[in-house]
Structure 1
Amino acid sequence: MEKKHVFRIAGGARTSTPAILIQLKFDNYTGYGEASMPPLYGESFQTAINFLKKIDLSTFKNPFNTEDILNYIDAISPNNPAIKAAIDIALHDLIGQLLKIPLHSYFGLKNKELYTSKTIGIDTAKIIEERVIEAKKFKFLKVKLGGKNDKEIVDTIKKATNQPLFIDANQGWNSKEEALEKTFWLKELGAVFIEQPLPKTSYDDLTWLAAHSPLPIIGDEGIQRFSDVKNASNFYHGINIKLMKSTGLREAYKMAQTAKMMNLKVMLGCMSETSCAIGAAAQLGALADWVDLDGNLGIKNDPFTAHQVNQGVIHVNKNPGIGLANVDWKEISTYKIPNHNL
């Protein structure tokens, strides 16, 4: 996926993100899935292909046995969440095609318009000002901090707009004291919450910060899968659920429902993704307090068309499955999973 702009966070910068697109076929129906693999998370084309080579679906006769199929996929390896997510998304898309219903209906959720934030990465003041102007129709801006120029970034943004800010420090602040000071400062400037202000393993500092912060603290890098949710309230006031971390829709749904029962806020987030994965995540939008699903808006070579985005609002369509309206990809290389009925 080629990005429209250089993407910078506290941990580095990139101009592209590797992705693998999946087709899962049953009878005359096809489900589509996607694995987005930012290098930070350790997955690659090679790890994904190696994982796919281990799959044997010959014992499964149809796609409706989702629990057994996805438990089998998950048990192949403790890692590889993105390629697992691709299979999960394709499987659910296929089920939606067969049932002729959108996945929000399959999960028993209402369809609603989603106000997604628009991400502003770490950059120079001039470029940040340009990005803010481009995002003027969005209700929220998501601002990447955690570098050396936090004040310059925020001051530049506030000179150009009064839009509320989602703040994401990407583990970039060095101490609980610094994090608390910046949280009070950002609250006065219209911040809604602070995402992952400290390293995910700084448990004592995160516990202290959550107890003292005037803004909700949201776990991202510290919340990967369902097993992380049970202790999340010790360190955070909410969690950021991403399909590429959670292994897909099935687990993301469980995480969101559990978080809500624990009185934790739910944020739906994304990586750099095509409209395939974004379309899938949007199906769970009714469970979210906040939505950050703009990954497809930042790439130049999206082979899919799904839900329309107008003035920062995602209008979730009623198409079957994940909501794809058009597919136009050119296969560069293909790998067929052997020994399967799906």
Structure 2
Amino acid sequence: MQLSYKRNNFPFQYPFSLAKGTKTHQDSLQVCLSFAALKGWGEATAITYHNVTVEDMIKVLEARKMMIERYTFIEPERFWHFLHHLIPAEKFLTSALDIAGWDLFGKMKRQPVYQLLGLNWENVPLTDYTLGIATPEAITARIKAHPFPVYKMKIGSAADLEAVRAARQLTDARIRLDINEAWTLEDARILLPELEALNIELIEQPLHREDISGMQALRALTSIPIIADEACQGEKDLEQVAALYDGINVKLSKCSGLTPAFSLVKAAKAKQLKVMLGCMSEGVVGCTAISHLLPLADYADIDGPLILEDNTFSGMQIKEGYITAPQGTGLGLQAIE
């Protein structure tokens, strides 16, 4: 097996602002596992608040490249366990390699990944289109430019409420909010009544992940479903999360790949938690990979290819929020030369 990689820097269509900061480009690492004429592709992005950079991932990759290439690849689950022990602190890089392993395995078996997982492409949720924090005027312009059945709005403080009002005045689409841990419990007490009136579909990670008492109190303040993101990094967090939230946001890089994500989704469902599939601003490769779990999901936030300019691959197809079944074998990717 041969391992290669490529660094990319994808521009956002609009400056992408959330409570943790603003970025105009997304740094990304694409990895490729080759066996004979077959190639499997994976991706992980650089995320500042997770202290992940492409430079650091490349350093680890170069240090472990020979061991990875010597590995006898049989099937992805074993490969993930090998990686988990080889680079235990590298969730994002492990995820990229695990994704590539599944793509390669699907091509070996001549099947799409979702079928290898025993799934049928039925009852898949619509993906949202994400609107970063912006003025009411900018939000209005972006909604007009991108009519969609579901929007996810990033907001931080009460100052962003005007933008939510503007969005609701303009569209009857479903609107969900992502707070990225920016609220205090007092913020929630003030804002939740108005958000109830604005018919918000769900709220993602309103308080800091460690504010357990705050989340216990918040649950009594609203009937809007609350989804855990930063508070759920993997299966080890499910017991606590199930007592505080209505669902979880599953992201491949956060939990270290398709292999653990598949297990996490099933474990969450067993605890009667709703499941959102999300992304870390990955491009076509990363978003196409997680889309293979869509038949298990209740919500989807897999819009990287819509908000980024990624011309490296064709893959997942989105029409009015609906993601069609991946075509071809493996992940269903085609490199754009």
What is the percent sequence identity of the aligned residues? 30
**Contact 2:175/2:200, CA 8 A, preserved across alignment:** yes
Aligned residues: 325
Deviation at 1:275, TM superposition (A): 0.9
1:59 shift after superposition: 5.7
CA distances 1:234-260 after superposition (whole Å, capped 9, x unpaired): 221100001111111111111100000
Contact (CA 8 Å) 1:63, 1:91: kept in 2 or not? no
In structure 2, distance between residues paired with 1:182 and 1:259: 29
Residue in structure 2 matching 1:327, options 327, 330, 335: 335
Which consecutive segments of 4 or more residues in structure 1 shift more than 4 A? Answer: none
2: CA distance, partners of 1:100 / 1:58: 22
TM-score by length of structure 1 reads 0.91
Greater relative contact order, per chain length (Cα 8 Å cut-off, separation 6+): 1
CA-to-aligned-CA distance 1:39-64 (integer Å, 9 cap, x gap): 22111122101221235136632332
Q: Report the equivalent of 1:147.
A: 157
Matched, 1:73 2:83: yes
Structure-1 residue corresponding to 2:73: 62
Secondary structure, counterpart of 2:276 in structure 1: strand
Q: Which runs of 5+ in 1 are unaligned?
A: 330-342
The answer to whether residue 202 in structure 2 is matched with residue 187 in structure 1 is no
Paired position in structure 2 for 1:200: 209
Q: CA deviation at 1:211?
A: 4.0
User: Cα distance 1:319–1:211, how it changes in 2: closer, same or farther (>3 A)?
Assistant: farther
Question: Which of the residues 127, 134, 154 maps onto 2:145?
Answer: 134
Give me the whole-angstrom Cα distance separating, in 2, the residues matched to 1:222 and 1:162.
30
Contact 2:125-2:298 within 8 A present in 1 as well = no
> How big is each residue's C-alpha offset from its partner over 1:298-325, in whole Å with a ceiling of 9 and x where there is no partner?
112331111211112111223111121x
Q: After superposition, give the CA deviation of every residue in 1:134-166 in whole Å (9 maximum; x if it has no partner).
A: 232x21110111135222111111221111111
Q: Is the 8 A contact 2:292 2:326 kept in 1?
A: no
Q: What do the CA deviations read for 1:79-121 (whole angstroms, capped 9, x no partner)?
A: 3221111101000000111111111101111113541100111
Counterpart residue number, 2:130: 119
Deviation at 1:292, TM superposition (A): 0.7
Match of 2:256 in 1: 247
- C-alpha offsets along residues 57-82 of structure 1, whole Å, 9 cap, x if unaligned? 36632332x33321121123443221
1:213 pairs, out of 212, 217, 222, with: 222
Q: Which segments of 5 or more consecutive residues in structure 2 lack a partner in the other structure?
A: 1-9
Is 1:109–2:119 an aligned residue pair?
A: yes
Contact preservation (8 Å) 2:13, 2:307: yes
State the Cα RMSD in Å.
Answer: 1.6
Q: Residue 64 of structure 2 aligns to a residue in which SS?
A: coil
Name 2:101's counterpart in structure 1: 91
Secondary structure of the corresponding residue to residue 18 of structure 1: strand
**2:4 counterpart residue number:** none
By how many angstroms is 1:262 displaced? 0.2
Contact 1:26–1:62 (CA<8 Å) still a contact in 2?
A: no
Aligned with residue 262 of structure 1, among 271, 282, 293:
271
Q: SS of the residue aligned with 1:115?
A: coil
Q: 1:237 aligns with which of 246, 265, 285?
A: 246
Provide closer, same or farther for how the CA distance between residues 194 and 305 of structure 1 changes in structure 2, counting only shifts above 3 A: same
Aligned AA (1:46): E
Q: Is contact 1:207-1:235 (8 Å) kept?
A: yes
- The residue identity in structure 2 corresponding to 1:168 is D
